[in-house]
Amino acid sequence: MKPVYGLVIGWMLLLVLWTHVAIPVIDHMKTLQPFFTRIGTQLTHTRIIGYDLAETVEALSPFYGGFYIDNIENRDIFSNLSKTGTASYVWVLPARPDTELKRLISLRYQLIDSVDAGGRSHRRIRKNVQLWKIKEDKN
């Protein structure tokens, strides 16, 4: 009889200790799903460029938002595209652009939405995302 109790206790411990592996828990304070879903309703059929984006942003935009971002990793190309206004929106992770590039974006575009998902990644970069829209000419 005692081996049966040991077996039952062993299975119970295994179940309790491994439940978090079998049933993952999503931290809703850190998820970007609501942000991408909300933004996706505004960004239909428009060109969006991003500067040196993380793979997470590139993956979540079509998955949750239904839109794609042209990720430009070359600073000069991104700068030229931003100056010409060929894209209606610019997607930026604030930690990536330098001061001059931030100034260029703020002159040509206006910040319309941003989110800080909280927490820190393994590189200590905050999961902050900003969406900028081209400023309308007043002429």
Q: Spell out the domain ranges in the chain.
A: 27-134
Higher pLDDT, 48 or 85: 48
Average pLDDT over residues 104-131: 68
Q: What is the pLDDT of residues 117-129, one digit of tens each?
A: 554 443 434 457 7
Q: CA 66, CA 124: separation in Å to the nearest integer? A: 29
Q: What is the pLDDT of residues 9-60, one digit of tens each?
A: 888 888 888 777 777 666 666 677 888 888 888 887 788 888 888 888 888 8
3-state SS class at 115? strand
Beta strands in 14-81 (DSSP E): 48-51, 70-72
Percent of the residues in the chain that have a pLDDT greater than 90, as a whole number: 5
C-alpha Rg value of the chain to the nearest Å? 22
Average pLDDT over residues 65-94: 86
Average pLDDT over residues 93-106: 83
For residue 113, the model assigns a pLDDT of 83
Name the pTM for this structure: 0.65
Higher pLDDT, 121 or 74: 74
Which pair of tokens denotes residue 15?
Answer: 């179940």
CATH number listed for the domain at residues 27-134:
3.40.190
Q: CA 81, CA 86: separation in Å to the nearest integer? A: 6
